[in-house]
Chains A and B, each alone.
Chain A
Amino acid sequence: MKTLLRIMEIAVISGKGGTGKSSISAAFATLNGDVVLADCDVDAANLYLLFDPFVEEEEVYIAGHKAVIDYSKCTNCKMCKDYCRFDAISLKNDKIVISEISCDGCFLCSRICPENAIRMVANDKSRMYSGSFRNGKMIYGRLAPGEENSGKLVNMVRLKAKQLSEENGMNIIILDGPPGIGCPVISTITGVSKVVIVTEPTISGLDDLKRTVGIVQKFNLLAYIIINKYDLNFSLSAQIKKWCKESNITMAGELPFDKNIVEAMVQGKSITEFNPEINISKKIKIIWNKIINQKT
């Protein structure tokens, strides 16, 4: 008989980059039993560097299309240029030129060209990898340079994570999210069980935290705040805590600034693997237990 698995999906995000999201996700992923770890920061995936996963499957991700012109058919009527709203088509030396950077892949030019001189070519250089690592299953995306990060690859990564979680009976999925508050972040947090927001006590950190909380609340999700490197600025840390309290957001805990984080990274380990006895590792463990054990 197949038992129904109750999957808990936990997304780790931060508005501001470089607050320590990935290092904290890595620690969470190596604290207890087997988990599914999904790197949703698809245009700067890093976790595979620590976990050196054994890739079992590689899938192609089509990141939209680009318009390509066939000059043997083009009559320079400029109709495509007039219709394009992305400023992607221009006239250079009496020749229609399509900018690959600006083209949004909307297909309109290829549809209206009276000479059928424009072809849409799929961007098929991006990949999704999945496989095993020392603490379970791992999925990560790799967006080809300059491709549109539409969040669709994030969705693909998350679907794969769910599939692997069900197939392997691993009920915890950890999603390491991208920075910002745009499309890939929205794709990362939509429908998850819990969101962990990692912030830091800087003016920029607090400002970005507020915007990140805004997006999390827009989707009605349960959020936990971690202040990383809290001891860099005690008064700002206090200010963040005060703001969280007033806004009714749960503080999961504070972590000190610790150079060992970098040392662990250099050795290809999470901080809790590197040294489970140091203060920061112990604190991460307490935070993790608080997050997974609290009823939603």
Chain B
Amino acid sequence: MNQPVSDMIKIAVASGKGGTGKTYISTNLFYSLSKKNYRVAMVDCDAEAPNAVAFFESEIVGKTEVTQKVPVINSDICTFCGKCHEYCNYNAIFILPPMKIVKVIEDLCHDCGACSVACKSGAISEKPVSLGQVTTFSVKGKPSLLEARINIGVMSPVTVIKAAIKQIDNQSDIAILDSPPGTSCPFVQTAASADYVILVTEPTPFGLSDLKQSVETLKTINKPFGVIINRAGLGNNSVMEYLTHENIQLLLEIPFNKEIAVLYSNGRLVSETNEIFSEQLLSVFENIIENHGNSSN
């Protein structure tokens, strides 16, 4: 079963709407692939609300702090020319020249470095501030699970997500990226670094509306993708009709089952006991490899 895979293939599991089963799919896919001896790593990219680790017996084997640089303005040297304030596109520098006041609002700073370039008097230096952590967990003795986690109060998870994806080691042939919800920046950053995106949706009007948004986004960045319908049987047929109409590949339908919901709520992996589900996810994976193999990348 362990086919040689030349380059690493990254598969992002995403959904516009939250709570459709992204983490459910990615944790079970990760487990099923590991069991078949694939060399697989998983990254929890939902840095605002990371949950994947709870599904595995794991131990921490490494932790790196993710920081950004923010300016420090020395008001003794500063000439209050206002150039840094003018260059800052994020309103992170507050300046009142007559009062000789200049302040950095660190929460608004994007670490672009423009103010340092703007300052001609050498009044600006930079210091690192923490955004969050990337933690490496070892599952069954292999350091294969990475978690991105932002500190409470940090505005954007993007830097921490990027750092986590960068840390995937080259020992793995497959990387599963559990994406953050939504269709904006954090999702796009995750999807952009993947070779293929699995969109998980549910057959409800909310699910369909958010699926459409995700599809639009993936089309603008030219990513191949397919759809898994979770909790099939609830709701209506409109997601199915949409997929047929738009000629989008349906990868799998998972029927709604209250027992699954209960198992999941307890942090259990359904594929551990349910062979059929495990096999289904493996064939979804094989299908993706067959059609979108990594030779081109």
Report which A residues bind B (CB closer than 8 A): 15-19, 22, 43-46, 49-50, 65, 83, 85-86, 101-102, 104-108, 111-112, 143, 145-149, 151, 178-183, 185-186, 200-205, 207-208, 211, 214-215, 218, 229, 232-233, 236, 257, 259, 262, 265-266, 268
Contact = CB atoms under 8 A, between A and B. Distances in A.
Contact of A101 (B87, B192, B206, B266): B192
Contact of B113 (A19, A44, A108, A183): A108
Nearest to B24: A204
Given A15-B49, A18-B18, A43 B152 contact: no
Query: Which one of A44, A111, A201, A265 has the greatest number of beta carbons of chain B within 10 Å?
Result: A44
A55 B200 CA distance: 31
A186 B107 CA distance: 12
B265 A232 contact: yes
B49 A181 contact: yes
A192 to B, nearest CB: 17
A15 B18 CA distance: 10
A180 B180 contact: yes
Contacts of B210: 44, 46
Interface string B229-258: 000001110000000000000000000001
B204 interface: yes
Contact of B48 (A101, A180, A202, A233): A180
B153 A218 contact: yes
A108 B48 contact: no
A178 B48 CA distance: 12
Nearest to B210: A44
Contacts of A229: 261
A105 B204 CA distance: 36
A203 B51 contact: yes
Nearest to A209: B49
Contact of B206 (A46, A178, A204): A46
A214 B184 CA distance: 24
Query: Which one of B19, B20, B204, B220 has the greatest number of beta carbons of chain A within 10 Å?
Result: B19
Interface stretch (B2-10, B31-39, B70-78, B154-162): B154-162
A146 B183 contact: yes
A101 B189 contact: yes
Contacts of B261: 229, 232, 257
Contacts of A17: 17-20, 49, 181
A101 B51 contact: no
B209 interface: yes
Nearest to A233: B265
A207 B182 contact: no
Given A15-B48, A236-B265, A149 B182 contact: yes
Nearest to B50: A207
- A-B complex: 7 closest residue pairs judged by Cβ atoms: A17-B18, A18-B19, A106-B112, A180-B48, A149-B184, A203-B267, A145-B217
Given A44-B182, A145-B217, A146-B188, A181 B152 contact: yes
B152 A16 contact: no
A179 B157 CA distance: 13
Nearest to A186: B155
B65 interface: no
Given A108-B87, A108-B117, A179 B18 contact: yes
29 contacts: A15-B48, A16-B51, A44-B182, A46-B210, A101-B188, A101-B192, A104-B112, A106-B89, A143-B184, A145-B216, A146-B184, A146-B188, A146-B217, A147-B184, A178-B182, A179-B19, A179-B49, A180-B48, A181-B150, A182-B48, A182-B150, A185-B48, A201-B265, A215-B153, A229-B261, A233-B265, A262-B235, A265-B204, A266-B205
Given A202-B264, A202-B265, A207-B54, A146 B220 contact: yes
Query: Which one of B55, B150, B153, B182 has the greatest number of beta carbons of chain A within 10 Å?
Result: B182
Nearest to A210: B152
A232 B262 contact: yes
B126 to A, nearest CB: 11
Contact of A233 (B154, B192, B266): B266
